[in-house]
Structure 1
Amino acid sequence: MTRTDLLALTPDTLASLSNRGLVKRAEKDLAAGSGPVVTSSDDGTVRGTFPDGTATALPPGSGLDAADCSCAATGVCRHRIGLVLAYQRGTQEETPEAAEPLANWSPGEFDDDALAAALGRTALTAAHRTRARGYTARVHRPTAEDPAPRAELPTCTVRFPVPRELGYALTDAAAALRAEVITLAVWAFRAADAEQATEVSVGGRTVDGRATVTAAADEALRAAVALADELLLDGVQQAGPVFAGSLRRAGRDLAATSQHWPAGAVAALREQLDAYADRSTRYTSGRLAALLAELHARHRAAGQDPVGVLGTAEAPVTPLRRVRLVALGCRIGGTARDRTAETYFAHADAGVALVLRTRWDLTEDRCPTGHDLSERRLLGSPLRALATANVVSEHTARAADRTVTLSRGRIAATSVTPVGSAWTELPESLLVRDAAAHLRAAGDRPPRLIRPRVEADAVRVVMVDGVDEIGYDPAGQRLEAVLRDPAGNGVHLHAEYNPLCPGGLDALAAALRDGGIRAVSGMLGRTRGRTVLDPLAVLTARGVTVPDLAPGAGDTTLEATARRPADPITEALEAALTALADAAHQGLRRLTPATRAALGDSAGRLRRTGLHSAAGLLDDLSRNLHVQGAPAAVPHWVTAQIRLTTSLDLHQEDG
């Protein structure tokens, strides 16, 4: 019998099952004639005898880690890798047609008996406990470019590179969790196949077949929403230390009941109040209004999909096994009291982007710029090196929101090497060659206010064939450029001036004008009907440029570009959201006559653009404020904010 599972193991898959060094060693031995003598048994077991006397056997139905080898190595060794390569070579020489394309299959085909036989009853029991709490997943079915189906779980990813074989499943979770997360991934595919969906919620507490939440979780969420209402009524100026303490307790209660996404919204709301108290530019009334609306939106949608809307009950942090991360650049932020660096990484094996957050308190008189921070050391390397590096770590943990922690550890090693050409070798989920097609594929997502709070979800690397325009918008303090991807799409690059990184726009403009530009990393999305990229770093023939870490005083003269006027619908929606944000900032009990007039003017403007339903929501808000008072107007403000926010998002994404 032909072992199709062994034929399906590519060098990359073998490297993921072991490491690239073992694969190269096995390939070198095979090329030098030191490979094994290969034989096959009637039951499908492939055996190999090496020149040094080592005997290795690969029985069917199990992975390489379950194979037999007489060498002293623990786990997958070079002999097992060498036997796979030797078997592939011999089979292809004898019957070249034996190597068939991968089948269009789903891991959901495995039943629980097959899972128990391959992974053990203990793993199945642990997975049942997680499913009882509920979890979310996004599944990716086989394509010609990426034939291995995979499931993105909240804190790890599972890939199935060999059709209908569980033993070769790959995951970035630690070895102790491997069997459990593979089981969860199979269940996710099973649910996705039944619903004909790509994003699913699995398990959780149910009543009459519908997911629900516990009484404690519902009470915690209601308490958080009540605090949001109190803030909406009284405004940020009245939110003192007592209110901040109440928010902190509400966040802890939400986290304790595994409602991670509302807990994240409460934490962000608390940060906004702290920023307002510190007179920091991190505070904006628009951000405050969006967070208040988010808590209400999640509360309203919780009855339909509590697992996806409220967050997963999966462990907040999952330890990962040895992982390779590709740095995609860095973003610098901070206040008068601190500086922060968000370093973005591509986790190629998982097909997702992660972010590493670092914070420094300012104890010096001077205020460091991004270039000053580039010399600060993380994991034994300067930040400028880490932000443009390949990082291989054996001491990594990933949170449900895709933040990652890296540590050198006492035993576990972390290596930092130049990124080289790693950007161009990323999988299609991270490397974009057709921006329009990529955004169309990502279009069927829930509204932003109830999506999972996942960091770096929009971070991608966009391949660039050319740069058509570069200019500076002095009114918006923004560098703009039009890039062309390999498919011919125009990608509009927008980079706003960061006062903490004065040389950033100059460095970015120089990199874009470099004739050897190859790719740009950043947050990819749509704004006002256009594909827009907010850049993190630029890859040219000279290497990677990270604008936020670049030197310079920002005194280079940049050619001005003409501003593109917004369309009437966008302008009307933005004006209405500004009026609603001003109302939330002041508090519905303390609205000024100017804000009341702005709400009325915004309703008229919406009506003139044909958005009659949206205008009616603002009319309802104004009427209730005038007739019944502020408390009665709260649900009307919430409904208007949710409706207009979602309308603007859809209008911008759909163009």
Structure 2
Amino acid sequence: MTRSDLLALTPDTLASLANRGLVKRADKDVAAGSGPEVTVGADGTVRGTFPDGTETALPPGRGLDAADCTCPAAGLCRHRIALVLAYQRGAPDEAAPTADEPSADWSPGEFDDDALAAALGRTALTAAHRTRARGYSARVHRPTAEDPAPRVELPSCTVRFPVPHELGYALTDAATALRGEVITLAVWAFRAADAEQRTEVTVGGRAASGRTAPTAAADEALRAAVALADELLLDGVRQAGPVFTGSLRRAERALAATSLHWPAGAVADLREQLDAYTARATRHTPERLALLLAELHARHRAADHDPAGVLGTAEAATTPLRRVRLVALGCRIGGSVRDRTAETYFAHADAGIALVLRTRWDLAEDRSPTGHDLATRRLLGSPLHALATANVVSEHTTRAADRTVVLSRGRIAATSITPVGSAWTELPESLLVRDTAAHLRARGERPPRLIRPRVEADAVRVIMVDAVDEIGYDPAAQRLEAVLRDPAGNGVHVHAEYNPLCPGGLDALAAALNDDTVRAVSGTLGRARGRTVLDPLAVLTAEGVTVPDLAPGAGGATLGTAARPSADPITAALEAALTTLADAAHQGLRHLTPATRTALAESAARLRRTGLESAARLLDDLARTLHDQGAPAAAPRWVTAQIHLATGLELHREDG
């Protein structure tokens, strides 16, 4: 009897099940002749007897962690790994699976609940049923020739199935105590995706229980948050004092307590906008505040359609992860006169996603550090510039539903942070992009941003670079622009805004892109004006990784001038109308100036001249209601106009 499951275990899969050091040691033992004497029973059980007397057995239908071994080691030991390697070496060549075998094309949805209970236990199945009753969202990735292991992105962890038709070898970055539950949820997600022929699904919740709305407590919390948004819209930012900010904080806690994480995030951002306005910080903008007000209403309006996807219903606030290996992709510096923030981006290769580590420093009144000054601040025992260009191995990581992570300071040894080296080029295809056009097509249709899950770094990727066609600087927009070519020949437009906190950033970026040895660029990948665009985080050359936000310099280098893009009347009309709506929200509908009322009429006329008749009617309706019925009656019309125009601009920018 041939054990195809053991033959399918690659060194990378074994390293994910245990760790790379254990696999190397076991391989060394087998190569040196210290491996086991292997026998295979009639029932398929593979047994090994080691020179030191240790006996190990690998029964079929069970993973390595459930195998039997007489050694005293806790958890997955080197003897089990060595037995797998010895069995593979002794197997005939024709028994080894090939990439062309049909077994690579399979779905974990084939497992029924009895198989799940037998492999993972009734306790795990019961816990998963509780989560499904509340509803959860998932993104399914079916096997491909490049990545034959199907996987599921759950809200706070990822599950992979590297061995076809076997549950025992399923891999997850969730902590051991949660393993059975999340594997069950992943199997159910595949079932739903197979039935609906989709990649993004919502499982349970409304569909399973017949509910048409969130629970009473969740509905009350959401209505309270929307009422606060209306109050701010009517009275404006100037009237929002500490009492109102405290109300927002309580609303945020109530939303989080009922697992409405996406509205809770919007309320938190709204509160930060008010704090930034009070502190006169540059991160406050009327446009951002207007979008957050519209987002709360949009999520409330769409809640009955897809509670889990729109509200984050039943998504775990945080999930502890087991030992993970992260590859740094760069860093973004922000802040105000009172603080500085660093967002360090990591690729979680085993999960095939990007994560974010946020750090904040309060500043003394006489200090104003640049990104380069912060580069020497120590995080997890290493300078920030080293962490932002490193491979990090953490044994104590917590991941939130929005893909932010917390790494425990005391549990990472100094030797666990090493230079990136070639790790970027070894990332899976979900993170490493060689054909940007195909990658963006495969991403498929997504909901509008206002009701999309609030997932950080969802579009962060590493783009392989075949050539750099042009580099220039737009002084009016204070933006560096470049055109890259990926290996498939697609043009990628790099847009990097000047950051006053990082004065040497654009110079460092231009120098790295001008380097003849540039190999890859990390950043946020998307579409704008019908073109593929990248907001860069870091650049990989033969000299290593350059992180522009942490680079030295005062920004004095001479850069060539970039060609200005041609004017787009539709974008200009939509942006002007949204600016007017944002000004109205900033002032408060009860306190609009005559100039803003006039701007509403002018914006409607401009939209109509551009051919956007529906958008123009919404602004006309808003202006008429303000005049005839007053601000309270006009608030819903402001919301409808803001949602319509913001979504229209988003779609137009993507489609060009």
Name 2:3's counterpart in structure 1.
3
Superposed displacement of residue 249, structure 1: 1.4
Contact 1:204 1:211 in 2 (8 A): no
Superposed displacement of residue 411, structure 1: 8.7
Matched position secondary structure for 1:281? coil
The C-alpha deviation readout for 1:232-290, integer Å capped at 9, x for no partner, is 11111111122112111111111111111001000100110111111111110110110
The C-alpha deviation readout for 1:530-559, integer Å capped at 9, x for no partner, is 111111100000000000111111111111
Structure 1, 566-575 or 399-408: larger mean CA deviation: 566-575
Matched position secondary structure for 1:409? helix
Letter in 2 for 1:80: R
Pairing 1:204–2:205 present: yes
Contact 2:4 2:97 in 1 (8 A): no
Mapping of residues 224-243 of structure 1, within 5 Å: 224-243=225-244
Whole-angstrom distance in 2 between the partners of 1:93 and 1:489? 40
Name 1:644's counterpart in structure 2.
645
Letter in 2 for 1:59: P
Cα RMSD (Å): 1.6
Letter in 2 for 1:21: G
Whole-angstrom distance in 1 between the partners of 2:535 and 2:160? 30
Whole-angstrom distance in 1 between the partners of 2:97 and 2:340? 59
Whole-angstrom distance in 2 between the partners of 1:621 and 1:148? 52
The C-alpha deviation readout for 1:112-162, integer Å capped at 9, x for no partner, is 111111011111111122222222111111111111111111111010111
Superposed displacement of residue 30, structure 1: 2.6
Name 1:334's counterpart in structure 2.
335
Pairing 1:40–2:40 present: yes
Mapping of residues 501-512 of structure 1, within 5 Å: 501-512=502-513
Identity across matched positions, percent: 83
Name 2:308's counterpart in structure 1.
307
Name 2:560's counterpart in structure 1.
559
Structure 1, 347-356 or 35-44: larger mean CA deviation: 35-44
Name 1:217's counterpart in structure 2.
218
Superposed displacement of residue 205, structure 1: 5.3
Whole-angstrom distance in 1 between the partners of 2:401 and 2:629? 43
Name 1:603's counterpart in structure 2.
604
Contact 1:395 1:409 in 2 (8 A): no
Matched position secondary structure for 1:145? coil
Superposed displacement of residue 369, structure 1: 0.7
Contact 2:69 2:80 in 1 (8 A): yes
Name 2:537's counterpart in structure 1.
536
Name 1:261's counterpart in structure 2.
262
**TM-score, length of structure 1 as denominator length:** 0.97
Superposed displacement of residue 413, structure 1: 8.3
Name 1:270's counterpart in structure 2.
271
Mapping of residues 477-626 of structure 1, within 5 Å: 477-626=478-627
Cα 1:611/1:364, change in 2 over 3 Å: closer
What is the aligned residue count?
655
Matched position secondary structure for 2:280? coil
Contact 2:133 2:208 in 1 (8 A): no
Name 1:448's counterpart in structure 2.
449
Letter in 1 for 2:387: L
Letter in 2 for 1:580: L
Letter in 2 for 1:627: D
Pairing 1:80–2:66 present: no
Pairing 1:14–2:33 present: no
Superposed displacement of residue 480, structure 1: 0.6
Matched position secondary structure for 1:344? strand
Whole-angstrom distance in 2 between the partners of 1:57 and 1:277? 66
Structure 1, 418-427 or 626-635: larger mean CA deviation: 626-635
Matched position secondary structure for 1:510? helix
Superposed displacement of residue 638, structure 1: 0.8
Superposed displacement of residue 96, structure 1: 5.7
Letter in 2 for 1:39: T
The C-alpha deviation readout for 1:401-458, integer Å capped at 9, x for no partner, is 1000011336988710011000001111111111111111223111110011111111
Name 2:116's counterpart in structure 1.
115
Contact 1:260 1:310 in 2 (8 A): yes
Letter in 1 for 2:45: T
Letter in 2 for 1:389: A
Letter in 2 for 1:373: L
Contact 1:470 1:480 in 2 (8 A): yes
Whole-angstrom distance in 1 between the partners of 2:133 and 2:56? 41
Whole-angstrom distance in 2 between the partners of 1:278 and 1:364? 13
Letter in 2 for 1:144: A
Superposed displacement of residue 98, structure 1: 7.8
Cα 1:383/1:422, change in 2 over 3 Å: same
Contact 1:462 1:521 in 2 (8 A): yes
Superposed displacement of residue 67, structure 1: 1.0
Structure 1, 156-165 or 195-204: larger mean CA deviation: 195-204
Superposed displacement of residue 94, structure 1: 6.0
Whole-angstrom distance in 1 between the partners of 2:424 and 2:246? 45
Whole-angstrom distance in 2 between the partners of 1:93 and 1:434? 34
The C-alpha deviation readout for 1:14-58, integer Å capped at 9, x for no partner, is 110011112112222232233322221111111122333322211
Whole-angstrom distance in 1 between the partners of 2:365 and 2:20? 45
Cα 1:547/1:76, change in 2 over 3 Å: same
Contact 1:159 1:171 in 2 (8 A): yes
Superposed displacement of residue 364, structure 1: 5.5
Whole-angstrom distance in 2 between the partners of 1:84 and 1:207? 42
Contact 2:380 2:412 in 1 (8 A): no
Structure 1, 94-103 or 341-350: larger mean CA deviation: 94-103
Cα 1:389/1:98, change in 2 over 3 Å: closer
Contact 1:606 1:614 in 2 (8 A): yes
Cα 1:207/1:82, change in 2 over 3 Å: closer
Superposed displacement of residue 629, structure 1: 1.4
Name 1:289's counterpart in structure 2.
290
The C-alpha deviation readout for 1:316-367, integer Å capped at 9, x for no partner, is 1111100000000001111111111110000000111000011111126131
Structure 1, 243-252 or 455-464: larger mean CA deviation: 243-252
Letter in 2 for 1:6: L
Letter in 1 for 2:588: G
Contact 2:394 2:411 in 1 (8 A): no
Whole-angstrom distance in 2 between the partners of 1:566 and 1:88? 63
Whole-angstrom distance in 2 between the partners of 1:314 and 1:435? 31
Whole-angstrom distance in 1 between the partners of 2:235 and 2:651? 31
Letter in 1 for 2:115: A
Matched position secondary structure for 2:578? helix
Matched position secondary structure for 1:392? strand
Whole-angstrom distance in 2 between the partners of 1:507 and 1:463? 19
Superposed displacement of residue 461, structure 1: 0.5
Structure 1: gaps of 5 or more residues: none
The C-alpha deviation readout for 1:449-482, integer Å capped at 9, x for no partner, is 0011111111111110110000011001111100
Name 2:89's counterpart in structure 1.
89
Whole-angstrom distance in 2 between the partners of 1:209 and 1:163? 34
Whole-angstrom distance in 2 between the partners of 1:407 and 1:264? 23
Matched position secondary structure for 1:15? helix
Name 2:31's counterpart in structure 1.
31
Structure 2: gaps of 5 or more residues: none
Name 2:180's counterpart in structure 1.
179
Letter in 2 for 1:74: A
Name 2:345's counterpart in structure 1.
344
Contact 1:394 1:412 in 2 (8 A): no
Cα 1:492/1:607, change in 2 over 3 Å: same
Cα 1:208/1:168, change in 2 over 3 Å: closer
Name 1:149's counterpart in structure 2.
150
Cα 1:367/1:627, change in 2 over 3 Å: same
Contact 2:4 2:96 in 1 (8 A): no
Letter in 2 for 1:186: V
Contact 2:3 2:44 in 1 (8 A): yes
Letter in 2 for 1:638: V
Name 2:69's counterpart in structure 1.
69
Matched position secondary structure for 1:324? strand
Matched position secondary structure for 2:179? helix
